Structure 1
């Protein structure tokens, strides 16, 4: 059984509140879960300690058992010091596309000739 540590949405319309749960990867987002290990309230200010409530020991235990955290949960875990989010660096993606590169080269040549 593949387990994920992910966010399950609770709260009212336009007032999100999330539970951090360990669930089967095939289960629906807000459906059945194995264990609740914390909560996340994105509407509270970042400095507020109640914004993220997480049982770090349970999170470490589930990760050691093979549960895979989602990207967002991995960022939250890294903020409390449980896990480390891998650095994302793709310089090729940041470059302009082919047409924009050709246009920039043409403008540079035009400016050089003047």
Structure 2
């Protein structure tokens, strides 16, 4: 099972809000008990000989399974609000309030999931780099 640390979008239209989640990268397409991986049987009254003659009795399981994006996450390890909000905790009136993007992350759980082999998507990799949990990805240059 390949695990992925990715962003799950919430919020309203034009007001995005993301949960940083650990989810399965690809759902399993194995159909246990039917003898054929990735397929399910439409009807039980037809025998194996009829199945060999008529392949229409078997339908790919991928039409039944959910996509990885729609799957339920294993754990929510943080949130990310990309809309800048103004800071109000600055006591000095002469200093203009700086806006910031709100990132909350459970660093211990993020380290755990990275340690067991979860792969971070590119946007999450940048957020983990800001939290100093991973090194920045090396820049690749296209050779023309």
Instruction: Show the 5 A alignment for 1:14-29.
Output: 14-26=14-26, 27-29=67-69
Superposition RMSD in Å: 1.9
Count, aligned residues: 92
Greater Rg, structure 1 or structure 2?
2
Aligned-pair CA distance for 1:44: 1.9
Q: Which residue of 1 aligns with 2:108?
A: 57
Higher RCO structure (Cα 8 Å, ≥6 apart) = 2
> How much does 1:47 deviate?
5.2
Deviations 1:57-114 (A, max 9, x none): 1001000001000011000000011111222130525xxxxxxxxxxxxxxxxxxxxx
- Please name the residue that 2:134 is paired with: 83
Q: What is the TM-score with the length of structure 2 in the denominator?
A: 0.58
CA contact (8 A) 1:9 1:30 kept: no
> What TM-score comes out, normalization by structure 1 length?
0.72
- Structure with the higher helix share, 1 or 2: 1
- Where in structure 2 are the equivalents of 1:1-114 lying within 5 Å? 1-26=1-26, 27-29=67-69, 31-45=71-85, 48=100, 51-90=102-141, 92=143
Q: CA distance change for structure 1 residues 80 and 25 in 2, over 3 Å: closer, same or farther?
A: same
| 1:42 counterpart SS class | strand
Which residue of structure 2 lines up, in the alignment, with residue 101 of structure 1?
none
